[in-house]
Amino acid sequence: MNSLTQPTIPTGSGFESKSHYGSGFFQMRIKLPPRDSAGVVTAFYLTSKGNTHDEVDFEFLGNRQGKPTAIQTNVFTNGQGGREQKFVLWFDPTTSFHTYGQTYGVYVDKVPIRVFKNNKRSGVNYPSKPMQLETSLWNGEAWATNGGKDKINWAYAPFKAQFQGFSDYGCHVNGQSNIANVCGSTKYWWNTRTYSRLSANEQKAMENVRAKYMNYDYCSDRPRYPVPPSECRWNI
């Protein structure tokens, strides 16, 4: 369990895996802070850290009590992010545990909501560095809820998120850097053809979620990106 109490400066808490990974399937069961959690961000992500890091994020954006929780996904490659997609969750993530997973796609309770392909033709080589799994709970009131207009109500502190059931299906690369050679083999089930693409049922489920619940896609944000980023032609 992680908790956030009123700080003198913006702060938070978290934990990380001891191991570094080059590929794999990672999931965690998470229960978000209850009641009024506007401005509070709960995150579950893989990151290589540093100025040129790779990263894939789940960020849960707290809200006023009774209003829906948003989930933001983002991908960093070689230190460059700006690939946000946001969804309104179709359930209350504060009342029970739900499963969030990452591999070829990003999953919520086994339903894919996003894919991001490692495609050198589009200039995206991801992941290219060993990454650790991290979770965190932190003060994001400057931007997380209603564009930063809704601040944290510290009367509801401490804010507590609960984590359980981490599944470590990963290629361990502690002390190694050439992850393509070490972790790209089809001896790992997540690298086989079956898991390198969505099934027809998964594709249909993802299209349904995106049509009903996605409320932001960087690939469609023309004021921000007059020319869509190159990977948008390959990724949904």
At 119 the pLDDT is 60
Buried b (16+ CB within 10 A) or exposed e, 106-129: bbbeebbbbbbbbeeeeebebbbb
- Given strand 105-108, what is the order of strands in its sheet? 2-4, 159-172, 21-31, 98-102, 105-108, 111-115
**How many Cβ atoms sit within 10 Å of the Cβ of residue 206?**
20
- Does 10 have pLDDT greater than 80? no
Q: What tens digit of pLDDT does each residue of 126-160 get?
A: 667 888 999 999 999 999 999 999 999 999 999 99
Return all residues near 139 (Cβ < 8 A) that are at least 6 apart: 4, 7, 10, 11, 12, 39, 40, 41, 152
Give strand pairing partners of 135.
Answer: 15, 44
Give the strand pairing for 214-217 and 2-4. Answer: unpaired
| Sign of the dihedral through C-alpha 137, 2, 78, 202 | negative
In the annotation, is 141 catalytic? no
DSSP state of 78: T
Q: Does residue 94 contact residue 33 with C-beta atoms inside 8 Å? A: yes
Which residues face 57 on adjacent strands?
45, 74
Where residue 196 falls (left for φ over 0; alpha for ψ -120 to 50; beta otherwise) is alpha
Local structure of residue 203 (DSSP, 8 states): H
* Short-list 104, 68, 105, CA closest to 87: 68
158: preceding bond cis by omega (within 30 degrees): yes
* Contact call for residues 43 and 31 (beta carbons, < 8 A): no
Radius of gyration for the alpha carbons in the chain, expressed in angstroms and rounded: 18
Burial zone of 152 (CB within 10 Å; 0-12 exposed, 13-18 middle, 19+ buried): buried
pLDDT digits (tens, 9 = 90+) for 34-67: 989 999 999 999 998 888 888 999 999 999 999 9
Find how far residue 153's CA is from the centre of its chain.
25
Q: Which CATH number fits domain 2-233: 2.40.50.100, 3.30.70.1400, 3.30.460.10, 2.60.120.200?
A: 2.60.120.200
Mean pLDDT along residues 5-19: 73
pLDDT of residue 104: 75
Global confidence as pTM: 0.90
Instruction: Label residue 106 by pLDDT band (50, 70, 90).
Output: very high
Of the candidates 55, 84, 141, 202, the residue annotated as catalytic is 55
Is 55 known to be catalytic? yes
Average pLDDT, the chain: 88
| Encoded amino acid at 136, one letter | S
Residue 208 pLDDT > 60, yes or no? yes
Q: Which of 16, 59, 141, 202 is catalytic?
A: 59
Q: What is the pLDDT of residue 195?
A: 82
